Amino acid sequence: MEINAFVIFFAAIFTSNILLTNFLGMCSFLSVSREVESSFGLGVAVFFVIVCTTAINYAVYHLILVPLDIIYLQYIVFIIVIAAFVQLTELFVERFSPVLYYTLGIFLPLITVNCAIFGVSLFMVIRNYSFLQSIAYGAGAGLGWLLAILSLAGLRQKLKLQRVPAGLRGAGITLIITGIMSLAFIGFSGIAVIQ
């Protein structure tokens, strides 16, 4: 009984957006979403890193951790893989494409502590996904995160000109907007019923 990878992909973008329903990746979401451009940069970087690290972690988990019976070390191993991958990507990008480095590179260090990336690897293990399913889930979660942070950044740029109650300025109003976005995304779940 395997769930179709496409279903997982779209569910991860819309009905069960990793940020709006699982609250993962909130810290960088709240701090970076002031400008549309930088949000896009961070979002793309997150997408790229999620897809790659999910693939690597899938391989590490099933080829190393399971055969050696050291599944209990998965948290440490996943974190190391993610940190190492981010560092390597940073080195490569800096070396081969300075332009890309200036647009994306600055966001890479922020990513190591982004719970969304670590979370995707953990969900993959808990839900017992196959390789294809894991990649679909990773790609969906990454795209969903990108979509959420881009929309929030767009909204926040409009908000600069509005009068917000003093106590709500900053984090408060951002959370309320995120809540409304989360409500809107629940609207998609009407679609998920037709499986």
Where does this chain bind another protein (CB under 8 A)? 1-3, 8, 11, 15-16, 20-27, 30, 70, 72-76, 79, 83, 113-116, 118-119, 122-123, 125-128, 165-168, 171-173, 175-176, 178-180, 182-183, 186, 189, 192-193, 195
Q: Rounded to whole angstroms, how far apart are CA atoms 47 and 111? A: 10
For another protein, the closer of residues 100 and 184 by Cβ is 184
Q: How many angstroms from the chain centroid is the CA of residue 170?
A: 22
- CB closer to another protein, 116 vs 149: 116
Nearer to another protein, 59 or 175 (CB): 175
Residue 98 makes CB contacts below 8 A (sequence gap 6+) with: none
Quote the least distance from Cβ 55 to another protein, whole Å.
18
Q: In angstroms, give the least distance from the CB of 93 to another protein.
A: 20
Helix, strand, coil abundance in the chain, percent, nearest 5: 80, 0, 20
DSSP conformation letters of 159-180: HTTS---GGGTTHHHHHHHHHH
Contact criterion met (CB below 8 Å) for 141 and 25: no
Nearer to another protein, 97 or 189 (CB): 189
For the CB of residue 47, give the shortest distance to another protein in the complex, in Å: 18
Q: Which is nearer to another protein, 15 or 89 (CB)?
A: 15
Q: Which residues contact 47 (CB under 8 A, 6 or more apart)?
A: 139, 142, 143, 145, 146
**Through-space distance between the first and last CA atoms of the chain, rounded to whole angstroms:** 14
